[in-house]
């Protein structure tokens, strides 16, 4: 299920998706997919990338996600996690919000970073 679609400055779209493995019941994991328009205006088609996992099962069950594109192209995500199964660097026990960065690579692809509750050494551009 698609929960949010937003445009990037370069014209592509990012869709936030809740996905579950086929044939499995249980938690929906949040992913993102990048959409690119192909063709001329009259024949434009939208092609989507494969889903990119944002919040792994070990971090918690994510209920909602939203993001903003930073000036350098990095995507800053906020996730509302319903449950965190363990304490540790990525999730404090009982924490219900985690955040993550998805870095834009030089080739235009994206690399998600592990979700965490804080970014102690990160300076927003």
The partner residues of 4 in beta bridges, in order of sequence, read 16
pLDDT string in tens for the chain (125-residue length): 777 889 999 888 888 887 766 666 666 677 788 888 776 666 667 888 888 888 877 776 677 788 999 999 999 988 876 655 554 444 545 556 778 889 999 998 899 988 887 665 656 55
Query: CA angle 29-35-38, nearest 5°?
Result: 155
pTM of the predicted structure, to 2 decimals: 0.75
Long-range (24+ apart) CB contacts under 8 A made by 16-23 are 16/54, 16/65, 16/66, 16/67, 17/51, 18/62, 19/51
**What pLDDT is stored for residue 86 in this prediction?**
52
């Amino acid at each position: 299920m698609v929960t949010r679609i937003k445009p990037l400055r370069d014209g592509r779209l990012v869709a936030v998706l809740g996905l579950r493995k086929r044939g499995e019941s249980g938690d929906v994991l949040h992913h993102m997919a990048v959409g690119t328009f192909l063709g001329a205006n009259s024949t434009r088609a939208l092609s989507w990338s494969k889903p990119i996992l944002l919040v792994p099962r070990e971090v918690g069950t994510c209920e909602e996600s939203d993001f903003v594109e930073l000036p350098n192209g990095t995507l800053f995500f906020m996730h509302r996690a319903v449950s965190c199964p363990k304490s540790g660097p990525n999730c404090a026990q009982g924490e219900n919000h985690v955040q993550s960065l998805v870095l834009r690579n030089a080739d235009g692809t994206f690399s998600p970073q592990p979700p965490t509750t804080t970014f102690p050494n990160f300076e927003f551009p």
